[in-house]
Amino acid sequence: MDQDQIGHLSPDWGAGLPRPDFTLRTETPLAETVFAPWDDADEKPLIRFRNVTKRFGEFVAIDDLTLDIYEREFFALLGPSGCGKTTMMRMLAGFEDPTEGAIELAGQNIAGVPANKRAVNMMFQSYALFPHLSIWDNIAFGLRRESSDKVAIAARVEEMLKLTRLEKFARRKPHQISGGQRQRVALARSLAKAPKLLLLDEPLGALDAKLREATQFELMDIQEKTGTTFVIVTHDQEEAMTVASRVAVMDEGRVMQVATPTDIYEAPNSAYVADFIGDVTLIDGTAKARSAPEQDTRPAEVPEVSASPEPTRAPQPNALGIWLHDKVLAPVIGPRKDIVRQLPPPTAQDSPKSETPPGGVEITWAEGQPALIALDGDQALDGHAVKLALRPEKVTISKDKPQAVNALQGKVIDIAYLGNLSTYHVELADGTMIKAQTANTRRVARRDITWEDPVWVSWSGTAGVVLNT
């Protein structure tokens, strides 16, 4: 794909055939600046949901929802089935109208505008390819509706075929190509009219795991090349995290959180989001504000405490080595000094709790267990019932007591072996289960923690997220 073609695919082409000009897009490529229009107060959103409610009879599918989506975003609507994400997409496409509220596309209220008059195209979950038309005619279908310029249509179709690497299949019928190819035809067809907004309804649901992964990157690539705004609906959180610039987590017709994949994962705003995205251990307790930091700012960098169980010993000779030394070398280099050489004692940084930076909250959660410290915790939560959300990969498991801000003793109940990772389910004395994950850098046979082992689980002061309940 050379520069010229990127110019062809610019979104302003959508107004109609023949295309206006062949100028290159001169804006700065995305990679050079951080793409975050949602943080820019001057940026006008492309799509604006304003207090949208959608009811089907008694059932409330979308409940007073307000949401902005910006141009060139790859926006994911994520949620379990029945959360209203498909309804939102169908309202954008024009197949449903909101019961209350307004949806604006580029500043225009689009309620009542029929689907065939919207600069919005949709890629259907079933792909909805027309079985009686060839791939070429499928892609040309939308173009033919708005223009009779055969040359322009043919050029655009060829361009889309090239973009999706389908040139060889142009003459085939949809039932003569594979699932992955069909997916690309559906994408090419929905992109052909250069819509302002492309809706993707579970676009990769029908593909197998390997192909899905490859296609995710392909989608991102095409999104970047064409500069089209993509809104993707999915129930697969991994897919949403991979492709999207922002993710909206939905539940029962409401948006629970809208944020970048990193924020959604690392800083969920509710137990629902924390639980829905990835694996998490939630610990109930009561927050208590810790003494405020002395400086006006908290230390920006809180050290990740090493959970190394014991001071590392330097190599020691074995029996043969001692014998050799005593019998052969001693006369020459003198008697062996039998001392244990150790690494220097731990520095102040990864040392005990007294050294833990002040601030944040501590959470009392069970009789006879130490309070858990969360340095990021909001001090306003003092006295509230809270949940501490812990990602398994941020919890370290070890046989000996580690020197960490938070360390609890328990017993391994279950090990889930995932190939690259293992998740240990550790039961604490009071029955609480904590999940800890380690990367399997060694072969299975050489791992030293197994079922029923007494272990310590530990995590740093910033690993957990304190959530109001």
Smallest gap from Cβ 126 to other proteins, in A, equals 5
Q: Which of 9, 52, 62, 122 binds other proteins (CB under 8 A)?
A: 122
Q: Is the CB of 149 or the CB of 252 nearer to other proteins?
A: 149
Smallest gap from Cβ 122 to other proteins, in A, equals 5
Q: Which of 6, 60, 113, 115 binds other proteins (CB under 8 A)?
A: 115
Binding of other proteins by 124 (CB under 8 A): yes
Say how many residues touch other proteins, by CB under 8 A.
Answer: 24
Binding of other proteins by 401 (CB under 8 A): no
Q: Is the CB of 191 or the CB of 374 nearer to other proteins?
A: 191
Q: Site residues for other proteins, window 208-237 (CB under 8 A)?
A: none
Using DSSP, state whether 255 is helix, strand or coil. strand
Please choose, out of 10-18, 111-119, 276-284, 290-298, the segment that lies near other proteins by the rule CB under 8 A: 111-119
Q: Is the CB of 15 or the CB of 330 nearer to other proteins?
A: 15
Binding of other proteins by 126 (CB under 8 A): yes
Binding of other proteins by 443 (CB under 8 A): no
Binding of other proteins by 344 (CB under 8 A): no
Distances in Å between the alpha carbon of 92 and those of 121, 153, 234, 249? 9, 26, 16, 18
Residue 216 makes CB contacts below 8 A (sequence gap 6+) with 204, 239, 242, 243
Q: Which of 9, 62, 78, 93 binds other proteins (CB under 8 A)?
A: 93
Q: Is the CB of 122 or the CB of 233 nearer to other proteins?
A: 122
Q: Which of 22, 56, 95, 217 binds other proteins (CB under 8 A)?
A: 95
Distances in Å between the alpha carbon of 192 and those of 146, 223, 247, 253? 12, 13, 26, 32
Q: Which residues pair with 76 in a beta bridge?
A: 232, 247
Question: What would the x/- binding string for other proteins be over residues 149 to 188, using CB under 8 A?
Answer: --------------------------x-------------
Please choose, out of 19-27, 49-57, 141-149, 457-465, the segment that lies near other proteins by the rule CB under 8 A: 141-149
Binding of other proteins by 316 (CB under 8 A): no
Binding of other proteins by 121 (CB under 8 A): yes
Binding of other proteins by 189 (CB under 8 A): yes
Q: Which of 81, 116, 347, 354 binds other proteins (CB under 8 A)?
A: 116
Please choose, out of 30-38, 114-122, 252-260, 378-386, the segment that lies near other proteins by the rule CB under 8 A: 114-122
Using DSSP, state whether 334 is helix, strand or coil. coil
User: CA 196 to CA 211: how far, in whole Å?
Assistant: 27
User: CA 376 to CA 289: how far, in whole Å?
Assistant: 11
Binding of other proteins by 272 (CB under 8 A): no
Let me know if 155 is exposed, middle or buried by CB neighbors in 10 A (0-12, 13-18, 19+).
middle
Question: What's the token pair of residue 457?
Answer: 């689980």
Q: Is the CB of 16 or the CB of 317 nearer to other proteins?
A: 16
Smallest gap from Cβ 133 to other proteins, in A, equals 8
Q: Where are the beta strands (DSSP E) in 57-116?
A: 59-69, 74-78, 100-105, 108-109
Binding of other proteins by 19 (CB under 8 A): no
Cis omega before residue 317 (within 30°)?
no
Residue 341 has what DSSP assignment?
-
Question: What's the token pair of residue 8?
Answer: 């062809």
For 408-454, the three-class secondary structure string (H helix, E strand, C coil) is EEEEEEEEEECCCEEEEEEEECCCCEEEEEEECCCCHHHCCCCCCCE
Q: At what angle do helices 150-163 and 209-226 cross, to 10 degrees?
A: 130
Q: Which of 85, 193, 290, 387 binds other proteins (CB under 8 A)?
A: 193
Binding of other proteins by 262 (CB under 8 A): no
User: CA 175 to CA 312: how far, in whole Å?
Assistant: 63
Binding of other proteins by 56 (CB under 8 A): no
- Backbone angles phi and psi of 372, in degrees to 5: -95, 135
Q: Is the CB of 89 or the CB of 395 nearer to other proteins?
A: 89
The CA dihedral of 94, 188, 15, 146, to the nearest 10 degrees, is: -80
Sign of dihedral through CA atoms 242, 248, 249, 253? Answer: negative
Interface contacts to other proteins, rule CB under 8 A: 93-95, 114-116, 120-122, 124-126, 128, 130-132, 141-142, 145-146, 175, 189-190, 193
